[in-house]
Structure 1
Amino acid sequence: MMNIATVTLNPAFDVSFEVDRLFHTSKMRGDNERHAPGGGGINVARVFVRLGGNARCHYLAGGATGAALDRALDQHEIVRNRVAIAGETRVSTSVFERTSRREYRFVTDGPEIAEAKWRECEAAIAQAECDYLVASGSLPRGVPDDFYARIATAANNRGIRFVLDSSGRGLAGGLAAGGVFLVKPSVGELRALTGQELESEEEIAAAARAIVERGQAKYVAVTMGRDGGILASADGVIRRAAIPVEAASAVGAGDSCVAAMVYAFARGRAPADAFAFGMAGGAAAVLTPGTDLARARDIRRLYEETTGTPAP
């Protein structure tokens, strides 16, 4: 059985609903309200379990919203390891406007984390029994820039493959020590990391290859939305077109991509196949409304339709 552990330092209690049209000042009545546990690593775990793997979530949570997050994880039957904090877990809100078919997403910074709490989380992660350790999401205030690098080094020392999906200082700090098995930046995150415009596909590929050449990551999967994605490794660059689907929500598309890629790697699939399965995961997430994330049957269907080979 495939086992992963995920790390979510800045989780969120996700709320989504729909309105006919957005207005300022006036009260708007919404419907199709959904609640779900959210945050990068938690989302990865939800999709990984749907695909048939085992996942344990390590996360920081506090306050009334933290308790709601705990209950939501239990409802999804996700194995969890919570480190209790003093602050309130943030709420993430997504609103879908039916007239324009546009989605509006509101996310706050989240609470500041005391040193004792992030160290407690680090110690718990160091004992995780898994094949892959997936750190996904932003670093909250109070957590040092090198937190992801610290747990990556500990994972590598235990023969665990480390996967990183973050932004800003979390991405830069996580890559600093090297030895990352897979990193999945969006093209916007890659631009911020490099400080370059990266306007052409060739420039994007070169920036991804540079991360590999520096020994910071073995595989770099860059997602580019409607422009598809690029996978860079020591063997070269693989390009995949975006899978055309009717968009219902973009929530969790990147997390679903990571979960599908890790699942395929864990099943022994080649990098090109794992990347194709990841792209199918991201597209499948776009099909589902609100906070629903990718469904296993959609991931496998899209993979088989676009590759012509049986899904893992």
Structure 2
Amino acid sequence: MPARIATLTVNPAVDMATVAPSVRPGHKIRTFDERYDAGGGGINVARVVGELGGQALALFASGGVTGRFVEEFLTAARVPWQTVGIAGACRISVTVYDQSTGQEYRFVPRGPEVAPSEWATMLERLRQVEADWVVASGSLAPGMPTDFYAQAARIVAARGARFVLDTSGPALTAALGAGIFLLKPSLSELEAIVGRPVDDLPSQLAQAKRLVEDGAARMVALTLGDAGAILATADSVIHSPAIAVRQKTGVGAGDSFLAGLVFGLSERQPLDEALQLGLVCGAAAVQGVGTAAVRRADVDALLARLRSDA
């Protein structure tokens, strides 16, 4: 029986991606090729897990007409979802690709204020959701306590499920050692945790392993951008290089990586294969258009390419 994967998104968004001939200050920027997606870390993870053939439930905070858009999009994408209603409207994030420079600009609002009763309801929902894995991904919304993810991790661990966390800043620091099964920091987030630059691969391998040894999490997946990713456990630490593809966007790449990794682990794949699947999903995301727009056909093609090159 496939593992049940639930995702938690406390600060979702409507993601708009568009293209401009040139982005110039003080000018009206005419755009084209607009695309709208449901966004937010956990929502992206759920969508990619579903594309891979897994069972994923997206649990998220929903408010206003923008929240209803997210609900409708997930319904159309056949992603099962549940919501915790909030008074504020979900945010709208905008990504603009500048054709003249090849640069991508991302505008990401902080999100709506979440009341204590609202975030407490999110924690209560975690006590009820039936899942083997719970993936919490994304930033906290204004009004939420810094230790929210730490509380969530303890709730999930107490129920015997595996808690996965991908966040940053004080919310990340506060959750370390709170019962996290899998932690996914970026290199900059790792450096913030250890308090110094970690420039070379041997140091990155050592620091990822040390996080596990210090009890921050049972498993650490450190993403390194063009340098690939590291997966550390109590027994091993492995590195896999990035997969070269033509990049169109960076939106949702980390969430897609996490989705592939968690799906692989939930399917009991060997650690190196699960890590490779994560990197393949991240590569599939950046070569598409939209937020975490991963297609199973692209994943299969990249995996076949890797096998033929081996």
For 2:34, the equivalent position in structure 1 comes to 33
For 1:271, the equivalent position in structure 2 comes to 271
Q: Would you say the 8 A contact 1:139–1:169 is kept in 2?
A: no
Q: CA deviation at 1:309?
A: 10
Identity of aligned residues (%): 41
Give the length in aligned residue pairs: 309
- Distance in 2 (alpha carbons) for counterparts of 1:279 and 1:63: 35
Q: Would you say the 8 A contact 2:177–2:217 is kept in 1?
A: no
Q: Would you say the 8 A contact 2:44–2:291 is kept in 1?
A: no
- Distance in 2 (alpha carbons) for counterparts of 1:232 and 1:172: 18
- Distance in 2 (alpha carbons) for counterparts of 1:41 and 1:278: 15
- What CA deviation, in whole Å up to 9, does each residue of 1:77-101 have, x standing for no partner? 2211111111121111111112322
Range moving further from structure 2, 109-118 or 228-237: 228-237
SS of 1:217's equivalent in the other structure is coil
- Distance in 2 (alpha carbons) for counterparts of 1:2 and 1:95: 37
Distance 1:309 1:175, change over 3 A: farther
The one-letter amino acid of 2:14's match is: F
Report 1:107-126 matches (<5 A): 107-126=108-127
Q: Would you say the 8 A contact 1:58–1:125 is kept in 2?
A: no
TM normalised by structure 1 equals 0.94
Q: Would you say the 8 A contact 1:94–1:290 is kept in 2?
A: no
Range moving further from structure 2, 34-43 or 150-159: 150-159
- Distance in 2 (alpha carbons) for counterparts of 1:187 and 1:228: 11
Q: CA deviation at 1:103?
A: 1.2
Q: CA deviation at 1:20?
A: 1.5
Segments of 4+ moved more than 6 angstroms: none
Q: Would you say the 8 A contact 2:253–2:292 is kept in 1?
A: no
For structure 2, the residue ranges without an aligned partner over 5 or more in a row are none
Q: CA deviation at 1:264?
A: 0.7
Q: CA deviation at 1:308?
A: 5.2
For 1:208, the equivalent position in structure 2 comes to 208
- Distance in 2 (alpha carbons) for counterparts of 1:2 and 1:101: 40
- Distance in 2 (alpha carbons) for counterparts of 1:307 and 1:183: 28
For 1:163, the equivalent position in structure 2 comes to 164
Q: Would you say the 8 A contact 2:44–2:292 is kept in 1?
A: no
Q: CA deviation at 1:12?
A: 0.7
Q: CA deviation at 1:206?
A: 2.0
For 1:153, the equivalent position in structure 2 comes to 154
For 2:142, the equivalent position in structure 1 comes to 141
Range moving further from structure 2, 271-280 or 286-295: 286-295
Distance 1:223 1:106, change over 3 A: same
